[in-house]
Amino acid sequence: MIRFDNVSKSYPKQNRAALREVSLEVERGEFVFLVGSSGSGKSTFLRLVLREERTNHGRVHVLGKDLARLSNWKVPQLRRQLGTVFQDFRLLPNKTVGENVAFALEVIGKPRGQIRKTVPEVLDLVGLGGKDDRMPSELSGGEQQRVAIARAFVNRPMLLLADEPTGNLDPQTSVGIMKLLDRINRTGTTVLMATHDQQIVDQMRKRVIELEAGRLVRDQSRGVYGYQH
Ligand SMILES: Nc1ncnc2c1ncn2[C@@H]1O[C@H](COP(=O)(O)OP(=O)(O)OP(=O)(O)O)[C@@H](O)[C@H]1O
């Protein structure tokens, strides 16, 4: 699903590499937490998977494709198979909840009839059944994140990337969001989530990959946020 072979990434005018010689593989269907302190390279890792950035050294394969050899015009096709969720939700403020989710299907040219059927189904799945006509501003943070997850998932992506999805939410709301991501994972979607949320990582006991100053320093199945001795 994702393979990094000896990947290094430096940004222009930065002395320190954002990622150094990272090698790892994420298999289909896994749920993986990416942890590490601020600046350790988590977002850079996700940006490489999305081909928003390119490596300086090493290879990144996503869904079987070598991203260095993927032509620019094929990048949108790759991204359509990836769902993304962010800390700040990134909903379209002038569109209703239903329209926000529908938009993800419109841009890939899905027929209207299918969109009309699919949107309420996915809103039901995320626990927002009947809220199609609300505006994002009328929802709580947790509900807005559910809309963002519905939008990311409506296309049934092979891989869901989440960058601090619980970063703006209180602990109880975060637990609800994690249950939802877990359910999505159980449908077969691989989930890769960058997070600082120790409580969540410790509760879920999934695979944990830790970065420190751009290096992979830990890769543990059923891991916790910090080292356990
Ligand atoms: N667009 C950029 N231009 C230059 N340097 C960058 C850029 N993005 C990130 N960096 C640098 O790369 C390093 C890794 O940053 P990155 O954002 O990947 O870390 P992170 O683990 O996601 O941090 P956080 O938890 O704060 O989001 C940092 O030193 C950062 O300053």
Mean pLDDT of 124-143: 95
Atom of ligand 1 nearest to the CA of 196: 25
Residue closest to 145 by CA, chosen among 189, 202, 84, 197 = 84
Whole-number Å distance, alpha carbon 225 to ligand 1 midpoint, is: 20
**Which residue, judged by its Cα, is nearest atom 5 of ligand 1?**
11
Q: pLDDT tens digit string along 91-104?
A: 999 999 999 999 99
Q: pLDDT tens digit string along 38-64?
A: 999 999 999 999 999 999 999 999 999
Tell me how far CA of residue 211 lies from CA of 13, 25, 34, 115, 178, in angstroms.
22, 15, 7, 40, 22
Mean pLDDT of 137-158: 96
pLDDT of residue 15: 87
Kindly give the interhelix angle for 141-153 and 171-186, rounded to the nearest 10 degrees: 10
Torsion angles phi and psi, residue 173, rounded to 5: -65, -35
Whole-number Å distance, alpha carbon 94 to ligand 1 midpoint, is: 31
Checking if the pLDDT of 223 tops 80, the result is yes
Checking if the pLDDT of 227 tops 90, the result is no
ipTM of the complex: 0.96
Averaged confidence pLDDT in the chain: 95
Q: Which helix (H) or strand (E) holds 125?
A: helix 112-125
Global pTM reads 0.94
Report the alpha-carbon distance of residue 38 to residue 171 in Å, rounded.
20
